[in-house]
Amino acid sequence: AMASTLAVVAALAAVGSSHAFLAPAPMAFKGPMALRSTAPFRCAVPAVSRRVNAAALGLNMVSESDLKGAKEMIEGIVDKTNANPLMVRLAWHDSGTYDVNIKEWPACGGAIGSIRFDPEITHGANAGLNTAVKMLEPVKAKYPEVSYADIFQMASAAGIELAGGPKIDMKYGRVDAAGPEDCSPEGNLPDAEAGDEGKYGGAGGTASTEDTTPNGHLRKVFYRMGLNDEEIVALSGAHTLGRAWKDRSGLGVDKTKFTDGSKVARKDGKEGVGKKGGSSWTEKWLAFDNSYFTTIPDEGADKELLKLSTDKTLFGDDGFKPFAEKFRDSEEEFFKSYAAAHKKLSELGSKFEPADGIKI
């Protein structure tokens, strides 16, 4: 059964992936709390009955064993399909809608699993992410008590770790958004390049992200989430994974010598790239390391590698530059900052049951 499941998700993965927080430049994205139980279940009832009762109360009764099973299944899917960048992008675009100034859940957005619903999944910045959701549906089917929000964030952490990145101190037990009414408005995610009018972002979303500079735009997006300059730079370093697809974002080219399937892209040296094509930021775009930070400022880097405005500003902006140079010079420092920033991003807007979450 596991082999047949992996075969299905491998076929879906062939649709391809692009990287987290990469929005098409031409598109200007204008665009009841769960009850808590106050008393334990004291009667001896079958586990199934307890789960049904918990569901009726809106409680997340996910078990540690289910989470471990889901994690193992997800790791198998990611490893077989090389969908690491796609899973990172799915989770980040779910959590990246968060607005720190909105105090009500789930109106605040964030890592609440709302990206699985239309209209959010059809937002311009989320092009292609329906493939990622479909790839993870077998996990939800086998472990129905694990929330979509947990599955998405678990897949992202697995994608980083399997690519040789740092271990993320994740916790689980997220409560899912209930339906389309819980989706954030379009416009909260960042643009990679300016639109036709020379502006990044737009007036949509929960707060305007419009700016005439890439650094100003990045700050409007990430400060709205409650993130700082170090975290912006660290998370940008995840562009060491993945590719931009011309048919999705309008960026890059159809294929390069690094993405045509002729070169090994994985850090472990295994073959396989998923769908061929697209433009990558780094030569080994399925390996998580600090090569993004060594490539962007290198004027001698291969011209087929991407260097977008929101990449180059990390070495030009006075607030970003010290962190970018530190991560260029030390992969250890990058991994340390990245792991902390990824964990923070994965928990934005999340409501956990139990309140402290579950570690596995």
> Among residues 149, 142, 148, 17, which one has the least CA distance to residue 87?
17
- What is the full DSSP assignment across 181-246? GGPPPTT-SPPSS--TTS-BS-S-SSS---BSSHHHHHHHHHHHTT--HHHHHHHHGGGGS-EE-H
Tokens 């010290």 belong to residue: 322
Rounded-to-integer distance, Cα 28 and Cα 231, Å: 24
Give alpha helix (H) positions in the chain.
2-13, 47-57, 64-81, 84-95, 129-142, 148-162, 214-224, 229-236, 246-249, 291-295, 309-312, 321-329, 331-347
Structure tokens that stand for 281 in this block: 């930021």
> Among residues 215, 171, 207, 168, which one has the least CA distance to residue 189?
207
Tokens 């370093």 belong to residue: 237
Phi, psi of 20 (to 5 degrees): -60, 145
Which residue is catalytic, options 19, 93, 217, 239? 93
- For residues 172, 178, 181 and 186, what is the CA-based torsion angle, rounded to 10 degrees? 30
- What is the full DSSP assignment across 130-152? HHHHHHHHHHHHHSTTS-HHHHH
Q: Please give the C-alpha separations between residue 348 and each of 106, 113, 226, 295, in angstroms, as whole numbers.
A: 11, 12, 9, 30
Structure tokens that stand for 307 in this block: 């260097």
342 is catalytic: no
Rounded-to-integer distance, Cα 225 and Cα 189, Å: 10
- Is the separation of the CB atoms in 308 and 193 below 8 Å? yes
Rounded-to-integer distance, Cα 204 and Cα 256, Å: 34
Report, as residue numbers or ranges, the catalytic residues.
93
